[in-house]
């Protein structure tokens, strides 16, 4: 396999972007990534998107996006793994370049969620239709059950969960691409509307529009496009039973642990080597579960990570310096690529006020559904 | 890149399969492919599926299908390029094995279309929503315009189009997996209900349920699984403008021509070397356009291919010996893999009454929308 590098990145601001359609969002992000690298063509495009069909009546995003980018003709396809669609797009782009099939690949993600669709029910199609959704549950309920299971087994309080949101909003306030660029207090989080006990409104990532894109090429060609390439050193994709009830322990995210194991193995690193991580906090409880499953912290330390400041900027292992899904926003198909861009910028020393000093090794973890799929990537500044 | 072989195949019968759900169909086909090769595990699964979300409220098919196959844990993702989703699943599986990332990959396709969804409108989400669908057109209308454009430029008659359906039903009558295992006469086709002038009901592929799966591995490991592997020697994916009105000539399928060029180039063969082909006849006119774009016949010969018997079993270049989408059925996400299985069987000498004598080199062409995406594969018996 050839070594692969990221040489350019672009993303829209995340938010309720009423003035932009699905295709507008894509073109804005893809165009920025191409311009950043000074590239005027690509061999192949992967579009990570969860549900263009249900959200805006548009499937077949590969050719549509190639066309609107002015590149009709190139290989292009959509890939989907619910909220992990962006991460999977990165992985397949990585494999295509590593294989030698293509030299220049755009790995992208896009979602347009605010065009009038019944968002909660569309998102629920990422859960097990026959065993879960049919009976009326949607994702806030599923993650509330994960939180309750965790609370039963461990010393986890509503306050611990709330600190995750406080920390991520603090990070997001420094991110000009974030949907919410303001801080929230512990009191505001703890007093926000109950959505699904114990999860409150400010424990939930928002409904967002947005797109993100990165340009990949063989490492040995990277200097043509940038003097600060970032190498992809590990990629792991894994699954777990779809329905929460079919898992041995609903509080344990096995797909996250397996995908991490594969990525660490490929990169020949251990969790302790990671200096900055973007983790899938679709609900604040998820960040705690994922940090543990990734091995970044032991369970007890993961539970208290945001309380002690261990996972904040300046802490032992800064998590979600971008603001995470909670503050940066969560246009589901775009999230995995947006996470990648945060790490790309961190490893290039371009993260501004959010910079983790001296970061050379970073990780992204992007998850689908209630954790039935997870994809982990490890990156190294070169 | 490593050389890649197909070592096992399985598919459901295609048809209105009321008794089987989306996941049942998948498991039946995947299980048959695994058993055929004596394999009890895989490293990765690609699920080609156009619209589980819109058809049955289920996205996130990667982990769902891995789970229901008893393989929760493995890497798995869905890929989508409308009716070319199956072909893209094969291509990405091929690249993953070729790269060295995985050894055993299941490339699959599945669609459940008869569960009550508004099928014509769901399918229309593969066309350009803003420039075409919004104005009321659906696929029969788009392909009728392609047919009219072709008729205007060439000596193409309704009878020429109808012979394609007659030929494919004749082939399908010999295929025990086909949805329609009966012949139709030219008179029946010419007198069938007008759907969108000049296309009649018997020029249109049906609404179908079904699934298909093939198992891929490095060629050098193939003998562990079968004594008759089939090698994938070429793969090409290409796109064209989404909206028919944005193409220089609506009667010319540029994505098909480009994808073929890439596949021929990779395989180091010319169209004249191909001995049997499965071609995307979603409407009978499409078979004529595709045969020309693939270079299998010159335009005039392509137009009269079914009339002269040139594209029938026993003819110079037999096309759609399986019955094609018209008679075999067209569960959209599964079609590209089902095409692959027909060629796999032909090159192994296992096609029974439909066998093309001495076939060693075969081709599949699978198309999305009105031709905005196309994927071509070339296979060699070894």
What CATH number is attached to the domain comprising B194?
A: 3.40.47.10
Residue A153 has pLDDT above 90, yes or no: no
Same-domain pairing of A195 and A214? no
Main-chain phi, psi angles of A345, to 5 degrees:
-70, -40
- Domain match, A112 and A138 both: no
Is residue A171 domain-shared with residue A298, that is, in the same domain?
A: yes
**Taking CB atoms and an 8 Å cutoff, what residues of chain B touch A133?**
57
Contacts of A76 in chain B (CB under 8 A): 237, 239, 373
> What CA–CA distance (Å, rounded) separates A247 from A240?
8
- Taking the alpha carbons of B277, B281, B284, B287 in that order, is the dihedral positive or negative? negative
Q: What φ, ψ does residue A310 adopt, rounded to 5°?
A: -60, -35
Angstroms from A182 CA to nearest CA on chain B: 33
Residues 6+ apart with CB under 8 A from A152: none
| B73 CB neighbour count, 10 Å cutoff | 17
Q: Does A86 share its domain with A146? A: no
Which are the contacts of A128, defined by CB distance < 8 A and separation ≥ 6?
A: A242, A243, B64
Spacing of C-alpha A149 from chain mean position: 24
Query: How many separate domains does chain A show?
Result: 2
User: Could you tell me if A235 and A318 lie in one domain?
Assistant: yes
Are B248 and B145 within one domain? yes
Given pLDDT bands bounded at 50, 70 and 90, which one contains residue A272? very high
Residue pointed to by tokens 């030219």: B186
The pLDDT of residue B221 is: 98
How far apart, in whole angstroms, are the C-alpha atoms of residue B120 and residue B101?
39
User: At A116, is the pLDDT very low, low, confident or very high (cuts 50, 70, 90)?
Assistant: confident
Residues A168 and A305 in one domain: yes
**Which residue among B62, B127, B240 sits closest to A81, beta carbon to beta carbon?**
B62
pLDDT tens, per residue, chain B with 382 residues? 999 999 999 999 999 999 999 999 999 999 999 999 999 999 999 999 999 999 999 999 999 999 999 999 999 999 999 999 999 999 999 999 999 999 999 999 999 999 989 999 999 999 999 999 999 999 999 999 999 999 998 889 999 999 999 999 999 999 999 999 999 999 999 999 999 999 999 999 999 999 999 999 999 999 999 999 999 999 999 999 999 999 999 999 999 999 999 999 999 999 999 999 999 999 999 999 999 999 999 999 999 999 999 999 999 999 999 999 999 999 999 999 999 999 999 999 999 999 999 999 999 999 999 999 999 999 999 9
Residue B38: domain span: 4-118+207-224
Distance from CA of B299 to the nearest CA of A (A): 22
Same domain flag for B176 and B299: yes
In this predicted structure, the answer to whether residue A14 has a pLDDT above a threshold of 90 is yes
The rounded distance, in Å, linking the Cα atoms of A376 and A356 is: 20
Both A25 and A71 in one domain: the answer is yes
Contact A74, B238 (CB under 8 A): yes
- Regarding whether A357 and A275 lie in a shared domain, the answer is yes
Q: What is the pLDDT of residues A175-222, one digit of tens each?
A: 999 999 999 999 999 999 999 999 999 999 999 999 999 999 999 999
Question: What is the C-alpha to C-alpha distance for residues B341 and B346, in angstroms, rounded to an integer?
Answer: 8
B243: nearest CA partner in chain A = A64
- Same domain, yes or no, for A290 and A147? yes
The closest alpha carbon to A323, from A164, A211, A200, belongs to: A164
Q: Give chain B positions within 8 Å (CB) of A50.
A: 59
Q: Which of A54, A255, A373 is closest, CB to CB, to B53?
A: A54
Q: Name residues 233-262 of chain B within 8 A of A (Cβ).
A: 237-242, 246, 254-255, 258
**For residue A64, which residues of chain B lie inside 8 Å, CB to CB?**
128, 242, 372
Buried-exposed string B326-364: b where 16+ CB fall within 10 A, e elsewhere: bbbbbbbbbbbbbbbbbbbbbbbeebeebbbeebebbbb
pLDDT at B104: 98
The count of other CB atoms within 10 Å of the CB of residue B173 is 17
| B positions 99-138 inside 8 Å of A (CB) | 99-101, 122, 125-130, 133
A195 — phi, psi (to 5°)?
A: -100, -55
Backbone angles phi and psi of B106, in degrees to 5: -95, 120
3-class secondary-structure state, position B9: strand
Q: Which residues of B are tagged catalytic?
A: 83, 330
Q: For residues B32 and B8, what is the distance between their CA atoms, to the nearest angstrom?
A: 8
Contacts of A60 in chain B (CB under 8 A): 80-82, 125-127, 242, 368-369, 372-373
A76–B128 CB contact, under 8 Å: no
Determine contact, residues B364/B88, Cβ cutoff 8 Å.
no
Hey, what are B314's tokens? 């026993």
Rounded distance between C-alpha atoms, residue B343 and residue B341, angstroms: 5
The H or E element containing residue A148 is helix A139-153
Q: Are residues A15 and A132 in the same domain?
A: no
> For the segment A44-79, what is each residue's pLDDT rounded down to a tens digit?
999 999 999 999 999 999 999 999 999 999 999 999
Cβ–Cβ below 8 Å for B54 and A56:
no
- Asked if A372 reaches chain B (Cβ–Cβ under 8 Å), the answer is yes
Q: How many residues does chain B have?
A: 382
B80:A81 CB<8 A: no
């Amino acid at each position: 396999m050839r070594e692969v590098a990221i040489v350019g990145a672009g993303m829209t601001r995340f938010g309720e972007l009423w003035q932009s359609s699905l295709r507008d969002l894509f073109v804005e992000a893809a165009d920025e990534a191409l311009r950043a690298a000074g590239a005027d063509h690509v061999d192949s495009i992967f579009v990570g998107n969860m549900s263009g069909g249900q959200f805006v009546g548009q499937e077949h995003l590969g050719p549509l996006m190639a066309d609107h980018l002015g590149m009709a003709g190139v290989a292009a396809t959509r890939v989907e793994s619910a909220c992990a669609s962006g991460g999977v797009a990165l992985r397949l782009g990585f494999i295509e370049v590593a294989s030698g099939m293509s030299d220049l690949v755009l790995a992208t993600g896009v979602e347009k969620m605010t065009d009038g669709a019944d968002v909660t029910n569309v998102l629920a199609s990422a859960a097990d239709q026959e065993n879960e959704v049919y009976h009326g549950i949607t994702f806030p309920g599923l993650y509330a059950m994960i939180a309750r299971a965790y609370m039963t087994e461990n010393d986890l309080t509503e306050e611990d969960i709330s600190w995750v949101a406080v920390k991520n909003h603090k990070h997001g306030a420094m991110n000009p691409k974030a949907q919410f660029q303001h801080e929230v207090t512990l009191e505001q989080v703890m007093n926000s509307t109950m959505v699904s006990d114990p999860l409150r409104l400010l424990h939930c990532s928002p409904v967002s529009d947005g797109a993100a894109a990165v340009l990949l090429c063989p490492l040995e060609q990277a200097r043509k496009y940038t003097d600060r390439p970032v190498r992809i050193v590990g990629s792991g994709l894994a699954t777990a039973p779809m329905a929460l009830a079919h898992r041995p322990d609903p509080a344990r995210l096995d797909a996250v642990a397996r995908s991490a194991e594969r990525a660490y193995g490929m990169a020949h690193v251990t969790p302790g080597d990671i200096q900055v991580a973007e983790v899938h906090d679709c609900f604040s409880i998820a960040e705690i579960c994922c940090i543990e499953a990734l091995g970044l912290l032991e369970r007890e330390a993961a539970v208290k990570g945001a309380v002690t400041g261990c996972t904040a900027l300046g802490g032992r292992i800064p998590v979600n310096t971008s603001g995470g899904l909670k503050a940066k926003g969560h246009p589901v198909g775009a999230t995995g690529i947006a996470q990648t861009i945060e790490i790309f910028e961190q490893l290039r020393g371009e993260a501004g006020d959010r910079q983790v000093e001296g970061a050379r090794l970073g990780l992204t973890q992007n998850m689908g559904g209630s954790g039935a799929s997870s994809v982990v990537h490890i990156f190294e500044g070169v």
